[in-house]
Amino acid sequence: MATEFSVREIPFSRAGAWFGLSPVVGLARYAQDVHVVSHRNGMHAVLSLTPARPAEIIAEPAVLTWRSGESQIRAVFASPDTLRISGSGLGMRIAAAERTLTPFTGTYFFAEPSGGAVFTSYETGHRFRLTVLSGQAEHVGAEELATADRAVVLGEEPWEVVIEEITTALPPFRSSTGFTDAVSAAREAFGRFTDAVAPARAPAAELACYVIWSATVDPAGFVTRPAVLMSKHWMNKVWSWDHCFNALALAPGAPELAWHQFQVVFDHQDAQGALPDSITHSEVLRNFVKPPVHGWTLSRLRERLPGGLPDPALAYRQLSEWTAFWLDHRRAPGRRLPYYEHGNDSGWDNSTVFAADRLVESADLAAFLVLQMKELAVLATELGDTAPWAERADEMLAALLEELWDGDRFVSRGVASGELRATASLLDLMPVVLGEHLPREIFDRLCQGVAEHLTSVGPATELPSSPYYEADGYWRGPVWAPATVLIEDGLRRGGAVELAGEVSARFRATCEKSGFAENFDALTGQGLRDRAYTWTASAYLLLSGGDTAAAAGTSAPAS
């Protein structure tokens, strides 16, 4: 039996498509009916799909079904830009979601002389052409201006239509295959992806694969290569650390797609070496950056990609420039440690580490750069470069231990105030990712701290006993996938295998119970915020397919 899911939680789409079917029509906004939702130029509900009478909705990877008694409507993506919908005994109204048309907003509707009906959308810059393949249809509001109903109405007699996302024009739709063949082809395409990416099926592996597969888009706009968006809900971007976890999950079974995930953000690296905060179809945001987890990622990709890194020289140049950005532009005069300008730079937007100061030298940032420079040292040796990356890594590690370890825990320093602060945030424990590179007593203390944060759900981002803890507090309590994967990896490489296994097991059980949400209530496990988040699905696959550092073995921390 195919995996079923709630379309209110996971959009119905397919790899390559820039639109999907969902009742989620905006930031935490849910409509009563399923809509055609586009992710070009933002997130825009273009068409509403309303059955003629109340119907149960059943979603599976290849087909979406509305069912009312013995009558039903089914939808399938025949290709990334082609949606076929077939009804029997149940009519449907396919209408412009926005009734008002202005010179700059809304959806204009008209009938083509050749027989098609076109909804042309200002917001997406694209057209959705509807062609009736069988049955009868009524046009409502064709060529109307201002405020009006604009729709194609289909009756109860058997019917089939195709909706194509186009730019200006295409030849009339022709197909040599039937609806059932389109369903079979979609099912086979998803099956091939799942077989490759998750050959050993964990309990929720197929659904995790669907979240990733269906959130993949073809190159368009600023997205220069096939890319896995974080979601085809409102988190419809690629952020400059999220992409790393998707790359790692895809690496063994879909290596080319995995390398695209790593590179898609580096395609927009600037002259100072900085990566953008995020990219999507129509924007590249540079007002913030994201943490330098890319060296850690590259070292893991080296292990997971069949045949190793495809282009070590390119990766070396990119990683060198990214590291130089932090060393040259994010260190205060006379300081050895780099700083974040805002919590958003860290990826932990509202962490309590940034409650008193926004410009902060934090221990996680230095730890990531230590690992990044160690990876650069490996690449330099392979490529015959003499840059002293190993020495720089040692210097950064020494500065971290001398300046931000207070004898019991890591602290952070406000750049302007110079004050050292300890918090109840898990962010202060993230240097555990250094694993075997830490002195034993420091590693052991970090393990204790992780155990204190570990709930039945996973590692809470703020201690539940903290006065700043919030059940749905974003980075002030909920459990997140990236922190879990980084911690598990560091624990395992440092030799704390049992604790690493417990972190992994609890997070995986949460996903199996609550799906692949953006984050989870640390005490109840309830999925929070965006409910179809790809880095969560990727983290589940990473942890289910064997611990992230298993290929490298384990080693004890330095004494």
Each residue's pLDDT tens digit, 299-313:
999 999 999 999 999
Q: Look at residues 65, 109, 60 and name the one whose alpha carbon lies nearest to residue 85.
A: 65
Over residues 164-179, the mean pLDDT reads 92
**Considering the domain boundaries, does residue 318 fall inside one?**
yes
**One domain, residues 488 and 537:** yes
Co-location of 371 and 508 in the same domain: yes
pLDDT of 13 higher than 70? yes
DSSP H helices in 2-133:
none
Residue 76 pLDDT greater than 70, yes or no: yes
Beta bridge partners of 36: 21, 47
The answer to whether residues 330 and 433 belong to one domain is yes
pLDDT of residue 200: 86
For residue 548, is pLDDT > 80? Answer: no
Closest CA to 492 of 484, 483, 501: 501
* Integer Cα distance of 43 and 405 in angstroms: 44
Please spell the DSSP secondary structure of 218-248, one letter per residue.
-SBTTB-S-EE-S-SSS--SEETTHHHHHHH
Q: What is the mean pLDDT of residues 368-391?
A: 98
Instruction: Kindly report the average pLDDT of the chain as a whole number.
Output: 96
* Alpha helices per DSSP H over 97-178: none
d(CA 346, CA 290): 6
Mean pLDDT of 33-48: 98
pLDDT digits (tens, 9 = 90+) for 381-418: 999 999 999 999 999 999 999 999 999 999 999 999 99
384 found inside a domain:
yes
Residue 1 maps to a domain: no
SS3 70: coil
Same domain for 309 and 177, yes or no, is no
State the CATH number of the domain containing residue 27: 2.60.120
- Chain segment 81-106, per-residue pLDDT in tens: 999 999 999 999 999 999 999 999 99
In a domain, 9, yes or no: no
How many Cα atoms within 13 Å fall on the side-chain side of residue 35? 22
- Does 51 lie in the same domain as 182? yes
* Least confident interval from 195-204, 211-220, 533-542: 195-204
pLDDT attached to residue 450: 98
Res. 553: pLDDT tops 90: no
Of 129, 163, 188, the residue at which a domain comes to its end is 188
Using pLDDT thresholds of 50, 70 and 90, give the confidence band for residue 545: confident
Out of 159, 188, 217, pick the residue that ends a domain: 188
Asked if 56 and 157 sit in the same domain, the reply is yes
State yes or no: pLDDT of 551 exceeds 70.
no
Q: Quick one: 141 and 242 in the same domain?
A: no
Same domain flag for 291 and 436: yes
Beta strands in 167-217 (DSSP E): 216-217
Which of 188, 217, 252 is where one domain is finished?
Answer: 188
CA dist., res. 218 & res. 234, Å (int): 18
Residue 511 in contact with residue 540, Cβ under 8 Å?
Answer: yes
Q: Has residue 114 got a pLDDT over 70? A: yes
Pairing verdict, β 159-166 and 216-217: unpaired
pLDDT at 351 exceeding the cut of 80: yes
* Domain encompassing residue 241: 198-546
Is the domain of 78 the same as that of 127? yes
Enumerate the H helices of 355-479 as residue ranges. Answer: 363-383, 389-404, 440-453
Whose tokens are 């300046």? That residue is: 403
| Residue 7 located in a structural domain | no
The reply to whether 508 and 417 lie within a common domain is yes
* Same domain? 272 vs 358: yes
Same domain, 181 and 315: no
557 confidence band (pLDDT: 50, 70, 90): very low
Query: Which of these ranges, 32-36, 114-118, 191-195, has the smallest mean pLDDT?
Result: 114-118
Q: What is the CATH number of the domain that holds 303?
A: 1.50.10.10
Closest CA to 545 of 514, 506, 504: 504
Domain count, the chain: 2
Share of residues in the chain with pLDDT > 90 (%): 95
pLDDT of residue 549: 36
CB 76 within 8 A of CB 183: yes
Residue 503 falls inside a structural domain: yes
Asked if residue 551 is part of any domain, the answer here is: no
Q: Is residue 130 part of a domain?
A: yes
